[in-house]
């Protein structure tokens, strides 16, 4: 429980040095002290808090929760919502932002050299360049100092995956500025609560939400980066000294007094500015002359909701979604090995343990298939490689999706399934884990929101023959044509060489059709 200071304080300065969290701070507006309730924990390991024990006037008492409504007029005016269409928003997606997101979400092992501060390095462009990360002692310091090794090790282990959401929100606000390395933006707790869905959490008090938000903001602003970047085309090589990815310029506290004169924290405001990296990776003006980069992607608001809702039950799935947000933005081949996905979701240690410890691979396999289902339910449907990832080693939920909803059709399905060499109810092959280590996913069928995250490369040469431009098939057109031919979804799927679930998802408008699939449907249904 947080404590507060009464009006009978005599300013003896005996309590401030005793606080282990630095929660007792001098009041800049009026003479005296105040206690930051987001830092004060009431010394839970002691019978009497240290500050209370040394106070001679009994000026420190527990802060009782405030009852009634808060005066929103005391908070600063709201800035424009970054999700203007209610679904997506552009965000900075350079390698600096991507790797920082990975550090917050995946918690990879950091390194140390003697008594030097803890660091993490990431080679870029096949080792021709490098990103180096450290943690700052005080994220609000104008000249941040790297954290000592012992403290940094504890801080890394306490990284909250939800801090990656704050990091992405900052990246989205940076895109709205012309010179984000010079211009500041301000966020208050109401914006963050809305973006993360915390305003709907009735199980948390206002102070609990404010404490959580401040902790997540500080974690995202603790990251320092130094980089050596090689020459790429017209963009020359450059090096940047260690600097914060996000400068936390100031934190504003908004209080409201109750009838007894005690102050209650009702809001927080954060003034933030992007680091020097933005001059090289988010510079719209110099990008026109091709001397810098301007790298951005599209952030779905649904991803933030998914992280906040599933980070405890499906942490591996959340790590994969955050990683895929950047991976799928890039052009080219999106084929992924299962070994890579396992490493991203659970780390090298657990993957190595699964291959050496008896029975560990079964637990990891069960978790991975559950997380893969979570990703599919979210809207990213994996496309399994038929050569390396055949049906017999695919997750059970994939095979179960082929079961028709209609009772009669389901009966026919099970009769046909019993005649097959590999039945749906058969146990998985004994060598499933070994085969899975060499399996691949060809890509993901993307939901409508995620299709905007993919940046298609424009061909350098003009193609000799272009595909004829025809009207795109809608979900309603496909369903009407199927019913006109008296085809069931299963019958149409058999003619197309697809699964029934694929037909169902297309008719529900869940996925978009490729040109090849459109042509196939037009031929089969005579559209």
In whole numbers, what is the pLDDT of the chain averaged over residues? 85
Expressed as residue numbers, the domain containing 494 is 475-525
The Cα–Cα gap between 460 and 205 comes to 56
Summarize pLDDT for 304-328 with one digit per residue, the tens: 999 999 999 999 999 999 999 999 8
Whether 302 and 266 map to the same domain: the answer is yes
Residue 465 lies in a domain: no
Whether 239 and 287 map to the same domain: the answer is yes
Summarize pLDDT for 129-147 with one digit per residue, the tens: 999 999 999 998 888 899 9
Residue pair 274/178 in contact by the 8 Å Cβ criterion: no
Greatest mean pLDDT among 41-50, 115-124, 329-338, 455-464 lies in 115-124
Residue 324 lies in a domain: no
Residue pair 171/141 in contact by the 8 Å Cβ criterion: no
CATH number of the structural domain spanning residue 29: 3.30.70.20
Residue pair 352/411 in contact by the 8 Å Cβ criterion: no
Question: What is the pairing mode between strands 33-35 and 24-26?
Answer: antiparallel
Residue pair 239/229 in contact by the 8 Å Cβ criterion: yes
Whether 305 and 353 map to the same domain: the answer is no
Whether 271 and 297 map to the same domain: the answer is yes
Number of structural domains found in the chain: 4
Whether 247 and 389 map to the same domain: the answer is no
Whether 261 and 354 map to the same domain: the answer is no
Residue 412's SS3 state is helix
Whether 337 and 373 map to the same domain: the answer is yes
CATH number of the structural domain spanning residue 488: 1.10.260.40
Whether 97 and 241 map to the same domain: the answer is yes
Final residue of a domain: which of 277, 312, 347? 312
Residue 384 lies in a domain: yes
The Cα–Cα gap between 429 and 421 comes to 13
Residue 145 lies in a domain: yes
pLDDT score, position 345: 95
Q: List the end-to-end C-alpha distance of the chain, in Å, as a whole number.
A: 68
The Cα–Cα gap between 306 and 376 comes to 12
Q: Return all residues near 107 (Cβ < 8 A) that are at least 6 apart.
A: 156, 157, 159, 347
Residue pair 486/420 in contact by the 8 Å Cβ criterion: no
Q: Return all residues near 70 (Cβ < 8 A) that are at least 6 apart.
A: 206, 256, 266, 267
Residue 422 lies in a domain: no
pLDDT score, position 27: 74
Residue 277 lies in a domain: yes
pLDDT score, position 372: 94
Whether 24 and 134 map to the same domain: the answer is no
Span 39-60, average pLDDT: 82
pLDDT(346) > 50: yes
Whether 161 and 216 map to the same domain: the answer is yes
Whether 188 and 293 map to the same domain: the answer is yes
Whether 296 and 179 map to the same domain: the answer is yes
Residue 185 lies in a domain: yes
The answer, as to whether pTM is greater than 0.85, is: no
Residue 515 lies in a domain: yes
């Amino acid at each position: 429980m947080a404590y507060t200071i009464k009006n009978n304080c005599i300013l003896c300065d005996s309590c401030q040095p005793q606080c282990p969290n630095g929660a007792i701070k001098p009041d800049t507006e009026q003479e005296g002290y105040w206690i930051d309730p987001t830092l004060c924990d009431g010394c839970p390991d002691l019978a009497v808090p240290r500050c209370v024990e040394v106070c001679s006037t009994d000026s420190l008492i527990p802060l009782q929760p405030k009852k009634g409504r808060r005066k929103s007029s005391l908070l600063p005016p709201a800035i424009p919502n970054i999700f203007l269409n209610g679904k997506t928003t552009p965000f900075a997606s350079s390698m600096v932002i991507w790797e920082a997101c990975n550090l917050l979400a995946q918690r990879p092992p950091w390194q140390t050299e003697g008594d030097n501060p803890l660091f993490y390095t990431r080679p870029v462009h096949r080792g021709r360049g490098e990103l180096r990360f450290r943690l700052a002692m005080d994220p609000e310091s104008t000249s941040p100092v790297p954290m000592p090794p012992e403290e940094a090790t504890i801080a890394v282990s306490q990284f909250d995956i939800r801090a990656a959401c704050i990091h992405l929100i900052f990246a989205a606000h940076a895109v709205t500025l012309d010179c984000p390395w010079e211009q500041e933006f301000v966020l208050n707790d109401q914006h963050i609560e809305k973006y993360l869905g915390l305003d709907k959490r009735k199980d948390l008090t206002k102070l609990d939400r404010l404490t959580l938000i401040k902790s997540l903001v500080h974690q995202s602003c603790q990251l320092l980066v130094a980089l050596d970047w090689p020459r790429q085309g017209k963009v020359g090589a450059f090096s940047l000294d260690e600097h914060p990815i996000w400068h936390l310029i100031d934190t504003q506290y908004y209080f409201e007094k109750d009838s007894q004169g005690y102050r209650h924290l009702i809001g927080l405001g954060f003034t933030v500015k992007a680091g020097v990296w933005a001059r090289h990776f988010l510079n719209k003006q110099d990008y026109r002359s091709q001397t810098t980069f301007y790298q951005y992607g599209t952030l779905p608001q649904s991803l933030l909701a998914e992280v906040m809702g599933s980070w405890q039950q499906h942490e591996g799935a959340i790590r994969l979604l955050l990683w895929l947000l950047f991976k799928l933005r890039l052009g080219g081949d999106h084929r992924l090995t299962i070994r890579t996905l396992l490493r991203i979701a659970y780390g090298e240690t657990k993957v190595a343990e699964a291959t050496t410890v008896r029975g560990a691979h079964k637990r990891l396999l069960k978790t991975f298939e559950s997380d893969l289902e979570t990703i599919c339910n979210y809207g990213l449907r994996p496309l399994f490689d038929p050569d390396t990832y055949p049906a017999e080693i695919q997750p059970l939920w994939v095979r179960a999706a082929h079961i028709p909803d209609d009772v009669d059709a389901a009966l026919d399905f099970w009769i046909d399934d019993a005649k097959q060499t590999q039945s749906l109810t058969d146990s998985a092959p004994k060598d499933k884990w070994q085969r899975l280590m060499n399996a691949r996913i060809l890509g993901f069928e993307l939901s409508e929101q995620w299709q905007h995250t993919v940046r298609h490369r424009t061909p350098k040469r003009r193609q000799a023959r272009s595909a004829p431009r025809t009207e795109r098939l809608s979900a309603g057109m496909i369903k009407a044509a199927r019913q006109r031919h008296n085809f069931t979804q299963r019958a149409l799927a058999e003619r197309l060489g697809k699964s029934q679930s694929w037909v169902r998802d297309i008719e529900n408008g869940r996925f978009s059709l490729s040109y090849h699939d459109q042509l196939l449907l037009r031929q089969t249904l005579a559209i």
